[in-house]
Amino acid sequence: MARYGMALDYKNCINCKACEVACKEENGVLLGADKHRIWVGVKEIEGEFPLLSIASNTFMPSQCQHCEHAPCQEVCPTHATHYDENGVVRVDPDKCILCSYCMNACPYDARYVDDRTMTVDKCNFCSDTRLARGETTTACQATCPTKVRIFGDLDDPNSEISQVLRDREHFSLKPHLGTKPKLFYLI
């Protein structure tokens, strides 16, 4: 029993997409540009050459936020989407009927359709691969060149993530929606 979350030192991100590839290779995510569990968000730069706003060009790594109050879980008619014993939002492929309510409900656009398993899929913190083998990092964290990610148990006060969240300021995405994401962006 744990309560897994992830802190992102997003200022380190160089938008290299190593995390996306590692995730696909680890979890057998389908090929295709629209099939991904994680991604890096980039905004169009502000200004006109040569006067450009450097600050407007940030890279925001993102994925399923593993909300404590997950809208996708609330709308799922078959309980395919559920919280596992570690607070990870998971999808049961046997129960998913591809109604796509969850895709519409997710405020973070975290879900996509896996055409092979006919499931609405998304990040599961490598629960059925790395964590199932007893490993303690996700594929995206392990591979990241600039070490953006810290994965761990939010309930363990001695975990690295708990320590970093105590020591550093951070924010969540769309906090006003009350979803209580478990991804934390470090300032």
CB 161 within 8 A of CB 151: yes
Nearest to 80 by CA among 62, 103, 97, 104: 97
Specify the pairing of strand 51-52 against strand 47-48.
Answer: antiparallel
Of 49 and 176, nearer to other proteins (C-beta) is 49
Q: 89-127 b/e with 16+ CB inside 10 Å = b?
A: bbbeeeebeeeebbbebbebebbbbbeeeebbbbbbbbb
CB 72 within 8 A of CB 102: yes
Q: Does 165 bind other proteins (CB under 8 A)?
A: no
Per-residue mark of binding to other proteins, 114-153 (x: CB under 8 A): --x-----------xxx-xx--xx-x-xxxxxxx-xxxx-
Q: Restricting to residues 9-38, name those near other proteins by CB under 8 A.
A: 9, 11-12, 14-18, 20-22, 24-33
Q: Restricting to residues 77-106, name those near other proteins by CB under 8 A.
A: none
Q: Restricting to residues 50-79, name those near other proteins by CB under 8 A.
A: 50, 52, 54, 57-59
Of 73 and 124, nearer to other proteins (C-beta) is 124
Residues that bind other proteins (CB under 8 A): 9, 11-12, 14-18, 20-22, 24-33, 45, 47-50, 52, 54, 57-59, 116, 128-130, 132-133, 136-137, 139, 141-147, 149-152, 160
